[in-house]
Each structure stands twice: as structure tokens, then as C-alpha cells.
Amino acid sequence: MKSNLLAEVTAWREQQPLVLLLNKTGMTQTDLAMLLGVTRSAVGQWLGGGKIRPEHIAQLERLDPGFSDRLEAWRQASPLLKKQ
């Protein structure tokens, strides 16, 4: 059972909209951090599911229209929420 949940969480994390954006654009975490004026560490936290400030969401939305909606849908689809 645990390994199934681990597989679900791993697959879910691979669909994180920021991961998909980086893959689509070929940018690195450092590239995105420089573009948004944040640290690479901040981008790393976001990739791990950390909260993104509204002004950065707006910048990401300009880079990738629909980003905020996809991010919210991704969060709501968490396998951990389904297990509660």
C-alpha cells in the first residue's frame, strides 16, 4: 500500500506546473530565479510544493498563460488529499 502511494505522489509531483514549464522552456531553476528576481532556493521550494507569492504567480502567468489555474488544479489533485 505504501509503495503505491509513493508511486502516486511521485507521478503527481512530476506533473507540477512549474516542473512542466521548466521542461517546456528548457530553463533551469537558476534561469527562472533570475528572470523572476528570486533565489534559486525559492524556486526549489516552489518545485517542492511551497507557496508562491501572488506577484510571482502573476509573473509566471505572463510566461505561461493559465499557470495559476493549472497550479491550483494540481494542488487539488494531490494523492495525499485523497487519502484523508
Q: What is the pLDDT of residues 46-63, one digit of tens each?
A: 998 899 999 999 999 999
* Tally of domains in the chain: 1
Specify if 84 maps to a domain: no
> For residues 10 and 80, what is the distance between their CA atoms, to the nearest angstrom?
11
- Provide the domain limits for residue 46: 2-78
Specify if 83 maps to a domain: no
Question: Which three cell numbers mark 29?
Answer: 531553476
Question: Which three cell numbers mark 49?
Answer: 510544493
Render pLDDT for 67-79 as a digit per residue (tens, 0 to 9).
Answer: 999 999 999 999 9
Q: 10 Å Cβ neighbour count for 32?
A: 23
- Neighbour-count burial for 41-74, b at 16+ CB within 10 Å, e otherwise: ebbeebeeeeebeeebeebbeeebeebbebbeeb
Confidence category of residue 83, pLDDT binned at 50, 70, 90? low
To the nearest 10 degrees (0 to 180), the angle between helices 54-63 and 67-76 is 120
